[in-house]
Structure formats: C-alpha cells, structure tokens
Amino acid sequence: MKSKTPFLVVTVLALLVFSLLGAYFIFSFKKSKTIAKIYKDKKLVCSISLDDVNQAYTIEIKGENGEINVIEVDKGKIRMKEANCPDGTCVRMGWINGGLLPVVCLPHHVVIEIEGEDDAEKFDDKAY
C-alpha cells in the first residue's frame, strides 16, 4: 500500500507535465512569422517571409494588356511600389507590415496579404 501510492502520484504528475508540454508545443505553432502572400487573379503567386528579408527587392507582376504591378519587399514590410492601374489606390496605401487590411489592386486583380502576425490574433476583422 505504502509503496504503490507514490507510484500513482508520480505517474499522474508525469502525465500532467507531458500534456502541458504537448499543449505548449501545439499553441506555440500559432506564433508564426510575418508571411506576405501575393495573389494574381486569385492565384497565389508567391509567399514571402518578411522577417527573413535582409535587403529590399522588387517583384514585377505582369498581366494581360500590359498590366504591370511592381511590389517592393523589405524587412518586415511590403508595398505596391508602382502600378499602371487607372486608380492607383494600391500604390497610395503605402507600406503594410501587418494589420488586416490587404493591399488590393482591383483593376489588375492583385492582392498582397499578410498572415500569421500578432495583429491577426488580436482582431478578428477590420471595418474600413
């Protein structure tokens, strides 16, 4: 009797520790990096981990009828640098580094979205 009770306690404690560790790992996966995703005509063109960018660079996305969007990527941020769309709303949005507001070039069907950052966990959505 005396020899088996500690065994029970140790087993329960060990299981508790393991399950806590497990829970910690499951939840820590949510803290992903800042990932920018670029879509053209609803198709994913590229996905960039913004935290890993060391030097700024640009990506050119060409569409039909001479549509051109130039996207600039820098450490932790991304923007539509140039676009020959009629309204230019996408360029005026400037840099984004998170938030729930994507950069959208409606006329050219180009979307830049940021996923997996703190802001997205803080808010479910955004009214704008």
Partner 1 sequence: MDKKKISILNLAWILILTASLSFSGCRTDMQEASKTEEIFGTIVSVKAYGENAEEAVFAALEKAKELEKIFSLTISDSEINYVNQNAFKDAVKVSDEMFYLVCRADYFSRLSGGAFDYTIERLIDLWGIGNDWARVPKISEIEPLVGLHDYKNIVIDSQNHEIKFKTDTAMLNFGAIAKGYIADEMKSEILKHGVKSALLNLGGNVLAIGKKPDGSLWKIGIANPFNPSSNIAFVEVADCSVVTSGNYEKYFEEDGVRYHHILNPETGFPSKSGLAGTTVISPVSADCDALSTATFILGVEKSVKLIESLDGVEAIFISENGDITYTSGISKYHFKELN
Burial category of 45 from C-beta neighbours within 10 Å (exposed 0-12, middle 13-18, buried 19 and up): middle
Binding site for partner 1 (CB under 8 A): 1, 4, 8, 11-12, 15, 19, 23, 26, 42, 86-87, 89, 93-96, 99-102, 104, 106, 109, 111, 122-128
CA distance 36 to 114: 4
> Which one, 76 or 99, has the nearer CB to partner 1?
99
Structure token pair of residue 125: 């959505």
3-class SS of residue 114 = strand
What's the min distance (Å) between Cβ of 119 and partner 1? Answer: 8
DSSP label of 87: S
> Which one, 48 or 103, has the nearer CB to partner 1?
103
The residue whose two tokens read 């039909």 is 64
What's the min distance (Å) between Cβ of 33 and partner 1? Answer: 19
What's the min distance (Å) between Cβ of 20 and partner 1? Answer: 11
